[in-house]
Amino acid sequence: MASFIQQDLEAAGVAPAICVLRGDAAPKGSRELPERVRRHFVSSRESRPFAVAAALRQQDTGTDPEPSEVPAVRYYPNLGIAYGTVTRETAAALRREAAVGTVKGAPPLSLIRPERVERASLGTDTTWGLEALRVPTLWERGLTGAGVVVGHLDTGADGQHAALRDAIGRFAEFDLLGREVDPPPAPHDTAEHGTHTAATIAGRPVRGRHVGVAPEATLASAAVIEGGDIVARVLGGMDWAIGAGIRVLSMSLGFRGFLNDFLPLTQRIRERGVLPVFAVGNEGPGTSRSPGNYPEALSVGAVDESGAIPLFSSSQRFQRGRQPIVPDLVAPGVGVISARPGGGYQAMDGTSMATPHVAGLAALLFEAAPTATPAEVENAIFASCSRSDRMTEDRANRGMPDAVKAHDALMAAG
């Protein structure tokens, strides 16, 4: 049994759990969790969903909901997983079910907040990050991300910003209980983080000036964080994004340290033909965040304009044979200018700013090779990386990618 579940069970008697179904354990096309799995989840006043529902009900009416009013489990059919509340006995019973691959804990995630935020103006036609990655040369080759859908799970995105007005093909918001808001609201940002990251991925040029790596890619953007039952919100966003036909998933969120509870999800995302591009964290050397520190994630750290790794950028070495060092690579993450909710621009520092640069580059490569696998695109990006004389392997791993070399490597491999 996962240690995180064990800790929760010891503390509260119940625990939030993620149940990953085996392959085709659920009928193909079914939106319902098989009853033989559903029966092992329980309704409880001590559960995380009930605590959130009770707080919301108290605000509105001053009364508590009944446990039966709060779902014991939610099913995410595009991922083939369930998330709900278990006891020690039902968790053990779940693990014995033939339909179940694994049962993991559900540690709450948090946003990887920027280290610095300040107003800025865009005084050049392209940002330093776009130039450092040599992205404009791929534009000259006709690659803009057209036809590629990128999943963007964050605080949402301001769809009225000039750089994003035509970029968001689909938008969803998941409420504090993890339910998709219906009907879907207009694209908006519940904070300011998501507008910045969204525009770095796919921002359109405004008066000839660019902040977006893939200026014709389409975003499937969802507001999933922060507050409430964050695990339900993020799982809902992941499932929704997979259903939207994404090729890349960009996330700048996670939980501190190495916890393998989201590892089966990251593996499942890859199985669905999607490249997971995740931030490694802003807690500095010797630290990292999950799921950005998994071998199955393309893990991104930050570099500044001089080619040095900022102190905040997380990095860590693990005792494992594959991908022992995180991040996998670094990308522009200091003084990154991108869109600000309500209009205009602002500069931010963080691995959250580096991650969408790589997600946008992946979109350009998927446009160049539509049948490429996530591994093929990832390997091309890895092959293009180099370290400056201001980078060490422990802090930057492979170094910073080069968009032109990545494209050449992908075409040569094809």
Catalytic residues: 154, 193, 352
| 158 in Cβ contact with 195 (< 8 Å) | yes
Facing residues of 74 across strands?
Answer: 83
Taking phi first (over 0 means left), then psi (-120 to 50 degrees means alpha), and beta for anything else, what does residue 223 get?
beta
Sheet containing 248-251: give its strands across: 168-173, 218-223, 149-154, 248-251, 275-279, 298-303, 329-332
- Give the rounded distance of the alpha carbon of 31 from its chain centre: 23
Q: What is the largest CA-CA distance in the chain?
A: 65
Tokens representing residue 186 in the block: 């207009």
| 331 in Cβ contact with 358 (< 8 Å) | yes
Residues 6+ apart with CB under 8 A from 348: 114, 116, 117, 196, 336, 338
Q: How many angstroms separate the CA atoms of 316 and 31, rounded?
A: 39
Residues 6+ apart with CB under 8 A from 212: 163, 167, 199, 200, 201, 202, 203, 204, 205, 360
Tokens representing residue 208 in the block: 């000839």
| 281 in Cβ contact with 314 (< 8 Å) | yes
Q: Which amino acid is at 167?
A: A
- Picking from 361, 357, 358, the residue whose alpha carbon sits closest to that of residue 404 is 361
Using DSSP's 3-state secondary structure scheme, residue 401 falls into coil
Q: How many angstroms separate the CA atoms of 385 and 397, rounded?
A: 9
- Picking from 21, 4, 23, the residue whose alpha carbon sits closest to that of residue 82 is 21
List the beta strands (DSSP E) in 144-213: 149-154, 168-173
